[in-house]
Amino acid sequence: MTQDASGRVSTRERGQSPAVPQVACKAGGNYAGVRQTVVSAILKAVSEQTGFELSVIMSTNRTQPVSDARHMAMALIKEYYPRMTDAQIGSFLGRGQSDVCYGRAAVSRRCAYSKGYRMMFEFIRQSVKQQIGALQTPSPGHLPAKCG
C-alpha cells in the first residue's frame, strides 16, 4: 500500500483513476487554480474524444492509439503553457522529459502527413477551447508545426 505525504492511500490502489487536479507535479510543485483546470480539461477532452479512460492514457500502455492520445495531451498542454518544461508536463502524465519531447514531435510529424490525425487533433483542440472557455488561451507561435 502506497501513501502520499498526507497519509492517503494512492488512487490507483483504491481502484480509481487518478484525478489530475490532485496530482503533484514533482518537477515544479502542485499546480493550483487555472493551470490545473486547463490540464484537467485537456486530459478530459482527449479522453472523451479518443474513447480511452484517463487511467489508460496515464498507464504504461504502449499501443499506438493510446500513445497517440497521450502525445496529443502533451502537445496541447505545451500549447497552453509554453513555459512549462517537458519534465513538468511529464510529471502530470507519469512520464519523463524525453517521452514528452518525443510525443510532441510525433504529433507534429503525424499532423504533417495524416489528414485524419490532424482533423482529430484539431477537433480535440476545439473541444478543449469549449471546456475551458476564457480561462486561458494558447500563446501564438507555440502550436505544433503544421497543425496550427
pLDDT digits (tens, 9 = 90+) for 21-69: 344 343 344 444 567 788 889 999 999 999 999 999 999 999 999 999 9
Q: Contact at 8 Å (CB) between 107 and 121?
A: yes
Distance CA 8, CA 143 (A): 38
What amino acid occupies position 119? Answer: M
Neighbouring C-beta atoms of residue 28, cutoff 10 Å: 14
Tell me what percent of the residues of the chain surpass a pLDDT of 70: 67
Half-sphere exposure of 122 (CA within 13 A, CB side): 12
Q: What local confidence, expressed as pLDDT, does residue 114 receive? A: 95
The pLDDT of residue 106: 97
Q: In this structure, how many other beta carbons lie within 10 angstroms of the beta carbon of residue 14? A: 9
- pLDDT for 125 equals 94
Q: Bigger pLDDT: 69 or 14?
A: 69
pLDDT at res. 22: 41
CA distance 65 to 113: 17
Measure the CA–CA gap between 145 and 95, rounded to whole angstroms. Answer: 22
Say yes or no to pLDDT of 7 above 80.
no
User: Whole-prediction pTM value?
Assistant: 0.70
3-state secondary structure of 5: coil
Q: Tell me how many degrees the CA angle 95-92-121 measures, rounded to the nearest 5.
A: 85
Tens-digit pLDDT profile for residues 79-90: 999 999 999 999
